[in-house]
A and B are shown apart, each in its own frame.
Chain A
Amino acid sequence: MSTILPLTGNESGAEVMRQIAPDVVAAYPITPQTELMHRFADYVADGKVPTELILVESEHSAMSACVGASAAGARVMTATSSQGMALMWEILYIAAALRLPIVMPLVNRSLSAPINIHCDHSDSMGARDTGWLQLYCENCQEIYDTGIQAMKIAENKDVLLPVMVCYDGFILSHTVERVELLEDHEVKGFIGEHIADHPLLDVDNPVTYGPLDLQDFYFEHKRQEAEAMRNAKPVVLQVAEEYEVLSGRKYGLFEEYFSKDAEYIMVCLGSAAGTAKAAVDELRAAGENVGLLKLRVFRPFPAEELVAALADAKRIAVMDRADGVNSIGGPVFSEIRAALYGRSSAKISNYIYGLGGRDIDIEMMKSVFQDMKDGKYAEEAFYLGVRE
Chain B
Amino acid sequence: MNQMPEHPLERFLRMDRIPHIWCSGCGIGTAVTCFMKALDEAEIDPDKVVVVSGIGCTGRVAGYVKFDSFHTTHGRAVPFATGAKLANPELTVIVFSGDGDLFAIGGNHFIHAARRNVDIKVFCINNFIYGMTGGQVAPTTPLGARTSTSPYGCFEPPFNLPYLAESSGAVYVARWTPLHIRRLTHSMAEAITKKGFSFVEIVSPCPTVYSRYNRLGDGLDMIKYYRDNCRIENWADTKNVPMEMGSEIVVGKFVDIDKPTFLDYQRGQTDGK
**Interface residue ranges, A against B (CB under 8 Å):** 28-31, 34-35, 37-38, 41-42, 45-46, 53, 55, 57-58, 83, 87, 112, 115
Contact A34:B71 (CB < 8 A) given known A57-B107, A58-B104: no
Contact A29:B134 (CB < 8 A) given known A57-B104, A58-B75: yes
- B102-113 to A contact mask, C-beta < 8 Å, 1/0: 001101000000
Cβ of B136 and Cβ of A29 under 8 Å apart? yes
In the bound complex, how far is the Cα of B149 from the Cα of A28, in angstroms?
10
- B148-161 to A contact mask, C-beta < 8 Å, 1/0: 11111000000000
Contact A112:B133 (CB < 8 A) given known A28-B105, A45-B152, A57-B104: no
Cβ of B137 and Cβ of A55 under 8 Å apart? yes
Q: Is the interface of A mostly helix, strand, loop or mixed?
A: mixed
CB distance from A336 to the nearest CB of B (A): 32
In the bound complex, how far is the Cα of B133 from the Cα of A58, in angstroms?
13
Does any Cβ of A come within 8 Å of B205's Cβ?
no
CB distance from A216 to the nearest CB of B (A): 34
In chain B between 131 and 180, which residues have their CB closer than 8 angstroms to a CB of chain A? 132-134, 136-137, 139, 148-152
Cβ of A38 and Cβ of B104 under 8 Å apart? no
In chain B between 80 and 139, which residues have their CB closer than 8 angstroms to a CB of chain A? 104-105, 107, 130, 132-134, 136-137, 139
In the complex, what residue of chain A is closest to B132 when comparing beta carbons? A31
Does any Cβ of A come within 8 Å of B73's Cβ?
yes
Cβ of B149 and Cβ of A38 under 8 Å apart? yes
Contact A55:B136 (CB < 8 A) given known A28-B105, A115-B55: yes
In the complex, what residue of chain A is closest to B148 when comparing beta carbons? A38
Show 18 residue pairs from A and B whose CB-CB distance is below 8 angstroms, ordered by the A residue: A28-B105, A29-B133, A31-B132, A34-B148, A35-B134, A37-B136, A37-B149, A38-B134, A38-B136, A41-B148, A45-B151, A46-B151, A55-B136, A55-B137, A55-B149, A57-B139, A58-B104, A58-B105
Q: Is the interface of B mostly helix, strand, loop or mixed?
A: loop
Does any Cβ of A come within 8 Å of B74's Cβ?
yes
In the bound complex, how far is the Cα of B76 from the Cα of A112, in angstroms?
13
Which residues from chain B contact A58 at a C-beta distance below 8 Å? 75, 104-105
Cβ of A83 and Cβ of B151 under 8 Å apart? no
Contact A34:B150 (CB < 8 A) given known A58-B104, A58-B105: no
The contact of B149 among A41, A46, A87, by CB within 8 Å, is A41
Cβ of B151 and Cβ of A41 under 8 Å apart? yes
In the complex, what residue of chain B is closest to A33 when comparing beta carbons? B133
Known contacts A57-B139, A115-B71; can you find 8 more A-B pairs with CB under 8 A? A30-B133, A37-B136, A38-B148, A41-B149, A41-B150, A41-B151, A45-B151, A53-B149
In the bound complex, how far is the Cα of B148 from the Cα of A45, in angstroms?
11
Cβ of B73 and Cβ of A83 under 8 Å apart? yes
Which residues from chain B contact A37 at a C-beta distance below 8 Å? 136, 149
In the complex, what residue of chain A is closest to B146 when comparing beta carbons? A45
Which residues from chain A contact B74 at a C-beta distance below 8 Å? 83
Which residues from chain B contact A31 at a C-beta distance below 8 Å? 132-133
Contact A34:B136 (CB < 8 A) given known A29-B130, A83-B73, A115-B55: yes
Which residues from chain A contact B151 at a C-beta distance below 8 Å? 41-42, 45-46
Which residues from chain B contact A34 at a C-beta distance below 8 Å? 133-134, 136, 148
> Would you list the 8 A-B pairs with minimal beta carbon distance, nearest first?
A58-B105, A57-B104, A41-B149, A29-B133, A29-B136, A45-B151, A38-B148, A34-B134
Contact A112:B73 (CB < 8 A) given known A29-B133, A29-B149, A45-B152: yes
Contact A57:B105 (CB < 8 A) given known A41-B150, A112-B73: yes
Among A37, A38, A41, A55, the one with the most B-chain Cβ atoms within 10 Å of its Cβ is A55
CB distance from A10 to the nearest CB of B (A): 11
Which residues from chain A contact B55 at a C-beta distance below 8 Å? 83, 115
Among B75, B105, B134, B149, the one with the most A-chain Cβ atoms within 10 Å of its Cβ is B149
Which residues from chain B contact A38 at a C-beta distance below 8 Å? 134, 136, 148-149
In the bound complex, how far is the Cα of B75 from the Cα of A46, in angstroms?
31
